[in-house]
Amino acid sequence: MEAVELDRVLFMPACVSPFKSGTVASGPQRATMLELALNDEELDDVEISTFEIDRNQPSYSWETATHFCSAFPRTEWYWILGSDQWNSIDRWAEPGKLRELLRFVIMTRNEDPVMDRPGWNYLAVPYSHPASSSAIRKDFQSHLSWMSPSVVAFCQREGLYQADS
């Protein structure tokens, strides 16, 4: 938020990613994990939207961006994503619409270079945390320090990510 001088951050868990065949945690479970993490961190000026979860269908970013830009036309919308997703954004549905509607904040990992995309409005923000959702799903127990205590407890209660083994 500080690097880009954002007033607020809106977390948006996807219902189902078009790039995934399934998920371990349901949309509501992922929203609960976000809520728990944000509460543990006592972060201000952040909120969670269940817009994509409530639609109960594959989540296409261009549809979400179109909805929010139409609903709040005086808001300048930034889309925060990791450099891995930025590098593959041309595979997303309707990347041209995203380019027209949004500004992008690219969180880099390990000082990786950010792919230049002429005509796109973006800013790279160096970020050094090693956390990876793929790594957590693969080996939950080895990555407990990456999660807030409430999220770890929730995953253990719900039996998510083999947290109970």
Residue 114 burial by Cβ neighbours in a 10 Å radius (0-12, 13-18, 19+): middle
3-state DSSP helix/strand/coil % of the chain, to nearest 5: 45, 15, 40
CA distance 45 to 161: 29
The pLDDT, as a whole number, for residue 22 is: 55
The domain locations on the chain are: 78-128
Check if the beta carbon of residue 79 is closer than 8 Å to that of residue 102. yes
CB 78 within 8 A of CB 102: yes
Q: Summarize pLDDT for 75-120 with one digit per residue, the tens.
A: 999 999 988 889 999 999 999 999 999 999 998 877 778 899 999 9
pTM of the shown model: 0.84
**What is the overall mean pLDDT for the chain?**
88
Encode the chain (165 residues) as per-residue pLDDT tens digits.
888 999 999 999 887 665 555 567 888 899 999 999 999 988 889 999 999 999 878 889 999 999 999 999 999 999 999 888 899 999 999 999 999 999 999 988 777 788 999 999 999 988 877 777 778 888 888 888 889 999 999 999 998 887 554
Instruction: Please report, in angstroms and rounded to a whole number, the separation of the first and last CA atoms in the chain.
Output: 36
